[in-house]
Amino acid sequence: LMLSILKRCLLLKVRTSGRVPFAVCVLADVSTMNSVYETVARGNMYSPTYRLFYKKNNQFISPWHDIPLYVDENAKIYNMIVENPRWTNAKMEIATTEPMNPIKQDLKKGKVRFIDNCFPYHGYIWNYGALPQTWENPFNINSHTSANGDNDPIDACEIGQRVARRGEVLQVKLLGLIALIDEGETDWKLIVIDIRDPLASKLHDITDVDIHHPGLLQATKEWLKIYKIPTGKPANKFGLNGMYQNKDFAANVIAETHEFWKKLTAKPENTELCCSTCTDDSHFMNKITQEEATKIVASTPVAGEVEPIDPIVDTWHYISS
């Protein structure tokens, strides 16, 4: 019904103005893009065996390498892979060194990791994930932060009102970023919003966030600063004097990480840094066949029961200022 209404509105707009409004063009494309990607769960949720693989048009793909970064480069619209939906605690991430780069739960000393709740926050306070086809180069000292990259795709905090699904591929509008220095490494945190969000049309840059989401940027900075303290680690620091940077600055950072990714994946000797298992017609030096990709997925445990979560995960930690 909604799609039918949208089509009628679009037709009316074209007849009266002779052009299709950009917002409607993007919205119409969303259903097409989202229907292209699907996820395949393997192993037991909340266990070391859990993996979330990706398929496009019924073909297995790497979410890191095969999903394009840009939806509309000029409009600063990007694809974002949701690793951790808002309010969740399980620390999920793209497995950059595994074949097909599925999402898996991070491990510490052989046990699955959950992030701590620092009062008054619970879990991730945004839909948290990463942009595909990016890489924060650990061999590059960033001129703005004087620190090397963290060896992962660039992170994104999606601030829309809807709680996303783990593994979902969102089309997001870029607003800005903050430069987190996490254990001595540059760890950019992009601020983005789902283009389908009711407020997306009102948010054009980082300064608009305080107007329409008052308190969120301050809470985001506080969360990033203190979230590792319960584990016995010191508070995180920030580059660029802890100031949020606008979308143009952020777009340049993304472009730089995209170039780092291109150079990384074009060299066959870099298989220890990222798994070059791209299955499309890209620049990759090393590719695998769809038959090989299917065997990789089949070699993992089948999807099973959800493992119980220790109640201690819900503990609130009170951090002294």
- pLDDT score at 267: 75
Residue % of the chain over a pLDDT of 90 = 78
- pLDDT score at 17: 34
Query: What angle do helix axes 22-36 and 2-17 make, rounded to 10 degrees?
Result: 140
- Give every residue of the chain whose pLDDT is below 70, as ranges: 1-35, 268-285
- Give the tens place of pLDDT for each residue, 216-259: 999 999 999 999 999 999 999 999 999 999 999 999 999 999 99
- pLDDT score at 7: 40
Dihedral of the alpha carbons of 164, 167, 172, 174, in degrees to the nearest 10: 110
- pLDDT score at 2: 41
- Which has the closest alpha carbon to 262: 250, 279, 274? 274
- pLDDT score at 36: 87
Distance CA(313)–CA(114), nearest Å, equals 7
Phi, psi of 42 (to 5 degrees): -135, 155
Q: How far is CA 135 from CA 104, 256, 262, in A?
A: 18, 9, 9
- DSSP secondary structure string for all residues of 167-178: T-EEEEEEEEEE
- pLDDT score at 288: 83
- pLDDT score at 13: 36
- pLDDT score at 182: 94
Locate the DSSP E strands across the chain: 37-42, 51-56, 59-61, 70-72, 77-84, 92-94, 103-105, 107-108, 111-112, 117-118, 127-130, 155-158, 169-182, 185-194, 237-238, 245-246, 316-317
Token match 């002294």: residue? 320
- Which has the closest alpha carbon to 187: 130, 234, 259? 130
Element (H, E) at 7: helix 2-17
Distance CA(226)–CA(121), nearest Å, equals 11
Name the class of domain 2-302: alpha beta
- pLDDT score at 14: 34
- pLDDT score at 149: 96
- pLDDT score at 137: 95
Phi, psi of 63 (to 5 degrees): -65, -30
- pLDDT score at 37: 95
- pLDDT score at 282: 56
Q: Are 77 and 66 spatial neighbours (Cβ–Cβ below 8 Å)? A: no
Distance CA(152)–CA(93), nearest Å, equals 9
Domain ranges for the chain: 2-302
